Structure 1
Amino acid sequence: MHPRPSPIAAAMYQLRDLGVDAIILHGPAGCCFRTARLLEMDGVRVFTTSMDENSIIFGAEDKLVETLDYVINYLNKEKPIIGVVGTCMSMIIGENLNVKDDRAIIIPVEVHSGLGDNTIGAIKAMEAALEVGLIDREEFERQCYLLKKATELEKKRGMAKEKYIKPSYEDDTNKVIEVLKDLKGEKIACVLNAKKETAYLFVHPLIVLNKYFDCINIANLDCSKGLKKIREDAKNILKRFKPHYITGSLDEYPIAGEKAVEILESLDISAVVVSGIPHALPIEKLDIIKIAISDGPRTYYPIKEIYDYAIIEFDAHAKVLGKRDVVKSRFGEILDYALR
């Protein structure tokens, strides 16, 4: 009922995780403009074939070939990895994305915005990566399982519910701070259950809490699993945040929540603060103070249904792209000032 991320954008982010040097969008110059610009902050060069009205009638394979040649020359490196991503325009008219050039490893992803769930685009990117040998069958199946679990999570407990969720910028910042102040001297749990690189920001308020409270830390920071970038991000965060328990890797956030709750049930704590994707935790069964920190104005209401307090970090994803160290969060900075 309300706007959701596009399969095209999901394919582009998945290609980023695979380590591509560049992405060519075979479509109009304005397609997925925000995603393209954000990914460039993360070191991925994004180009477009700039399809126009004439392309709809006469086709645009020549535009794709010309753009690919330009990109290879621009990158100026041996065997660059280049993703070629479809758009609504190119896929509707049946454009061929399987262009060949021996100077590069090319990953053609036939995707458009009408496919359904955004994770379908990511799965198609993984299918193409498997086809060219960038990943093995085991990792392919693992990634597909996690992507499907992510969609299932959002449809059941997140912002992909069938009903319309109006954006809300409300939060309970002042009240949460007062609640936390009343907990001084008591033991609390800090849970990081974050999606990939957003962990750079969502770990920050937990680091701050560790300065002022006796905390038990739980996190999805297993750096032995996932694509290369995912493992490296976990290693970077582990330099700054030391969990007592690890629930999974940064791409396992849809399933790591259940393990986190199993651990929480065994602890003698007064409150829990969950940062990242808090609705992945079946937290309802815990009879303690529950505080959630997440991203996006449409996330507030789904989280508020299962947590006592909900804090929203705005544009968290945009703030972490290109970063390789902890990023200060709005709420973390407020906490650090208020709890002194």
Structure 2
Amino acid sequence: MKINEAYPAENSLANRRLILVFGHSGQVATALRETGLPAGWSVRTVGRAETDIVDAAAVEKIVASSGADLVINAAAYTAVDRAEGEPELAFAVNRDGAAHVARSCAAAGVPLIHISTDYVFDGKASGHAYREGDPINPLSAYGVSKAAGENAVRAAAPRHAIVRTSWIYGPHGQNFVRTMLRLGQARPELGIVDDQYGSPTAAADIAVALIAMAKRILVAPASGDSSLFGTFHFCGTGWTTWYGLAYEVFSLASAHGGGMPGLRPISTLDYPTPAVRPVNSVLNCQRLADVYGITAPPWRTSLKDCVDKLCAEASLAAKVEEAA
């Protein structure tokens, strides 16, 4: 099925489900609160102020007491460049925190969906998208910590699904799309990296895919099917470069009256960063389609939805400010 298919009505008490989400203010957790759910289902997001995943006892307590039918771990340390200077914090969250969640799920007999990243690969694959079984070789402290988190989940929680995704953006939080729209208003010209390749992925699409996975795991007649667990890839259909993504963002924004700054393609060497990024971040998502029947929309389609929303919000905010 496509991830935007409507859920059938299911109103009986037997069909009520609670999904506990670690992470509250992040892009995916926010999208999970906003996405449509099957009738009788609910999502509870848990932020660091309520339960910090680095606290093993706190994680165990909330998983055991929540009555959750399934847990999604969307909590992560995602400051890629800063992680180079504070790797111990990245590992505390991305490895140890993931282990705490996985162990608590195993103890409670609850399945776990854990979010991971394209940064577990070194990006040196030429001519093909990465499959789940391809060797990992992270180049950054962030990538190493996320790879360690994957291994911790595999070791601790037999019923787990690890979902690697890439280039996440949305109307909330810090992401490339929002940064481009902000910088485009402040600078007449922008130099954008044009030799790194990936698949932009809307947080909203990730949320819908995760709910579809949860439904299959919990409701499908073959809910005990081991093929539902393991490692999967999910990202927007198609690929581009950061320059290509920026160009599309400004092209879409121009339909709302936004300006188009001068965009200049540059190389990775022209824009050095503390953390090394994969050159090729394109992920092969066929396994998720084969097992769950889930495919993402084309990345341009979802990007238009996001840019339209951001521009509408900016226009409304400007009108409110003018009237004040």
**Shared fold, TM over 0.5:** no
Q: In which range does the TM-score fall when normalised by the shorter chain?
A: 0.3 to 0.5
The TM-score, its normalising length taken from structure 2, stands at 0.32
Greater relative contact order (CA < 8 Å, ≥ 6 in sequence): 2
